[in-house]
Amino acid sequence: MSENDIALPEGWAAIPLEACVEILDSIRIPINSKERANRKGNIPYYGATGQVGWIDDYLFDEEILLLGEDGAPFLDKSKPIAYIVRGKSWVNNHAHVLKAIESLMSNSLLKYYLDDFDFNDYVNGSTRLKLTQTSMKSIPVRLPPLAEQKRIVAKVETILTSVDKVRTRLDRIPDLFKRLRQSILAAAVSGKLTKDWREEKGDIKCTVEKCCGSEIAQFPCIPDGWVYTKIMPILTNDRPGIKTGPFGSLLKKHEHQDGGVPVLGIENINRLKFVPGSKIHITEEKALELSQYDAVPGDILISRSGTVGEACVVPKDIGKARISTNLMRVSVRDDLVKPFYFAIVLCAPGVVLDQVKNLSASSTRDFLNTRILQTIVFPIPSLEEQEEIVYCVEQLFKLADKLEARCQKAKQAVDKLTQSILAKALHGELVPTEAELARQEGRSYETAEALLARIREELAQRRTEKKTRRKSAKQERITMKKLDRESVEKTISSISGDTFSFDELRKKLPGDYDEVKDMLFAMLEDAKSGLEQVFDKQIQTMRFRWGGKV
């Protein structure tokens, strides 16, 4: 259903956008990034979706409303379409420049209307949507009475301020949950998470071979019954306990397939969980060739670059799979170490990750290899306590996941709330209409139609008065010649130099300020006139250049 099909509230009017705004597109000047780099300043430079840089001069020094011409998120209601700019600014040709007609409509209300508007029938383009000026002019605008407009804007601003505060709080939640999970892991590998369990069960000694005292003196104290050990004593003897994925020479890009045996990568690891799926597959023949790089249930996969320290356990239903060069595979003796516990130790902040950072300090980024892994010291409790730690971490992570999912739903609801508020506001449902209040208070009111008629009459009267003032000014100048294009071009030709300023032209022309300005901008809009604006780098200001100057 289009805006034209929706009934208007009493006292409202439907008008085309061009009837309620001044369109200032002709003043826009695009400047490429290379030129902007040479013109750095403190004036904001705007494009289709907001500020895109800074510049040293301005085209506007007032409140204006910018609406994307191309490249704006016209069909994405989670993002604003229009935005208000105040003060000095420069706008390129990717945004339409509008200014609501004073006393008819405010820029604020028009922004809310455009943010809520359905642009489907008004934009075109397959890859980059474009809103032409012709289409923009025809956008139907729902115009409330002036007093009602002010109430709508005030109410919307009050509600959206509260919504923004809630959204800001919700945006911080993912980071809070990340820190919570890290705290759980830190407590797990320090013994704090199972302190009550140990008090109840008594000390149960770990049977893993421990490191000598000199090797562990620098590490935090661990509970009685725990040991610090290196990785070699806990690795399986059935197959290589540590294996780094094949390097490029063993698995080349042209050997990648759309289907076949999956090759696992860092994308399969996420917060101790194995993520199913694979971007790369290989043939059965290639998999046989890379059989030493297999991944079987119970193996620990470790990210060795990028997100170093991410780890997970290969699930039971993995089937046949191989690891990529970005992964390391660790196979531990399950009579000494639970695979999931070892993954917890790898992911927990503190002891292990600190060692990785220190041992890879000579590199430009953290990087894990077999030598580093064999050097690292790991805190290991008894097998029974490992089982308790795994159970506690799994339960706490499940609870965190549920809470985070609820927060995500709340955020989605808040994101939709803005559009719901705007829809109600711009269909007369958010505040009492002026017609309702007038009836309750027993008074008359100015409808939007009456307001529009009054403003049109006032604008027409201003134009008449302006013309009268211009005529009077001309009559006062006895020697004044009629200002026309030919006389302007002749005057420009008489000015010395390749470029000229507006003030230089004004001194030589008989017309008043507005008349000269109007003629000059009419020539700028006419591509055939040969007149253009240029930036004079030497004096750091805009000037004019005319192709007809000899």
First to last CA, the chain: 59
Taking Cα atoms as reference points, which of 2, 9, 80 lies closest to residue 438?
9
Domain match, 234 and 375 both: yes
Span of 378-382, 402-406, 509-513 with lowest mean pLDDT: 509-513
* Contact predicate 98/65, CB 8 Å: yes
| CATH value at residue 280 | 3.90.220.20
pLDDT band per the 50, 70, 90 thresholds, residue 503: confident
Indicate whether 457 belongs to any domain.
Answer: no
In a domain, 466, yes or no: no
Task: Render pLDDT for 51-75 as a digit per residue (tens, 0 to 9).
Answer: 999 999 999 999 999 999 998 999 9
Give yes or no: residues 187 and 94 share one domain.
no
Looking at residue 486, which CATH number applies to its domain? 1.10.10
> 345 lies in a domain?
yes
Q: What is the pLDDT of residue 534?
A: 83
Number of structural domains in the chain: 4
**One domain, residues 103 and 134:** yes
Q: What are phi and psi for residue 14, nearest 5 degrees?
A: -105, 125
Specify the pLDDT at position 478. Answer: 39
**334 and 220 both lie in a single domain:** yes
Q: Is residue 454 part of a domain?
A: no
Check whether residue 486 and residue 518 sit in a common domain.
yes
Query: Which range among 68-72, 155-159, 209-213, 453-457 shows the weakest confidence by mean pLDDT?
Result: 209-213
Q: What is the pLDDT of residues 513-532, one digit of tens each?
A: 777 788 888 888 887 788 88
Q: How far apart are CA 148 and CA 154, in angstroms?
A: 10
Residue spans of beta strands (DSSP E) within 203-246: 227-230, 242-244
Q: What single DSSP character describes residue 25?
A: G
Do the Cβ atoms of 382 and 390 come closer than 8 Å? Answer: no
Q: Which amino acid is at 245?
A: G
Kindly report each contact of residues 257-263 with a partner whose C-beta sits within 8 Å and lies 24 or more positions away, as own/partner. Answer: 257/281, 257/282, 257/283, 260/284, 260/286, 260/287, 261/286, 261/287, 261/320, 261/321, 261/322, 262/321, 262/322, 263/321, 263/322, 263/323, 263/324
Residue range 94-115: mean pLDDT, rounded? 94
Considering only residues 19 and 496, tell me which one the structure prediction assigns the higher pLDDT.
Answer: 19
Cα–Cα distance, 321 to 291 (Å, whole number): 9
Whether residue 315 contacts residue 301, with contact meaning beta carbons closer than 8 Å, is answered with no
Least confident range from 209-223, 242-256, 466-480: namely: 466-480
Q: Is residue 469 part of a domain?
A: no
Model confidence at 476: pLDDT above 70 = no
Rounded mean pLDDT, 324-340: 94
Residue 7: which domain range? Answer: 1-143
Query: 106 and 187 in one domain?
Result: no
Q: Mark which of 124, 143, 162 sits at the end of a domain.
A: 143
Tell me what the pLDDT averaged over the chain comes to: 88
Q: In what order do the strands lie in the sheet with 322-323?
A: 280-282, 261-264, 322-323
In a domain, 463, yes or no: no
Last residue of a domain, one of 381, 407, 425: 381
pTM above threshold 0.85: no
pLDDT at residue 342 tops 90: yes
DSSP 505-534: HHHH--S-HHHHHHHHHHHHH-GGG-EEEE
pLDDT band of residue 354 (cuts 50, 70, 90) is confident
| Residue 340 reports pLDDT greater than 70 | yes
Give the DSSP H/E element, type plus range, for residue 264.
strand 261-264
Helix residue ranges, H only, 332-382: 339-347, 351-359, 370-375
78, 18: one domain: yes
- At residue 482 the predicted structure's pLDDT band, cuts being 50, 70 and 90, is low
For the ranges 415-424, 432-441, 475-484, the lowest mean pLDDT is seen at: 475-484
Instruction: Report the pLDDT value the prediction gives residue 470, as an integer from 0 to 100.
Output: 66
The pLDDT of 315-336, averaged and rounded, is: 93
Give yes or no: residues 340 and 406 share one domain.
Answer: no
Around 55, how many Cα atoms within 13 Å sit in the side-chain half-sphere? 28
- The structure tokens listed for 137 are 């002019």
Q: Is the pLDDT of residue 334 over 50?
A: yes
Question: Is residue 414 classed as helix, strand or coil in its secondary structure?
Answer: helix
What token pair was written down for 27? 């003043």
Please answer whether residues 23 and 96 qualify as being in contact, where contact means their C-beta atoms are separated by less than 8 angstroms.
Answer: yes
| Closest C-alpha among 379, 309, 374 to residue 343 | 309
211 plus 314 within the same structural domain: yes
In a domain, 450, yes or no: no
User: In this structure, are 164 and 193 located in the same domain?
Assistant: yes
**Same domain for 24 and 79:** yes
Poorest-pLDDT segment among 171-185, 246-260, 391-405: 246-260
Domain boundary among 122, 143, 164: 143
- 395 and 485 in a single domain? The answer is no
Measured distance CA(353)–CA(311) in Å, rounded: 12
pLDDT tens per residue across span 193-241: 999 999 998 878 888 888 766 777 788 899 999 999 999 999 999 899 9
Is 320 inside a domain boundary? yes
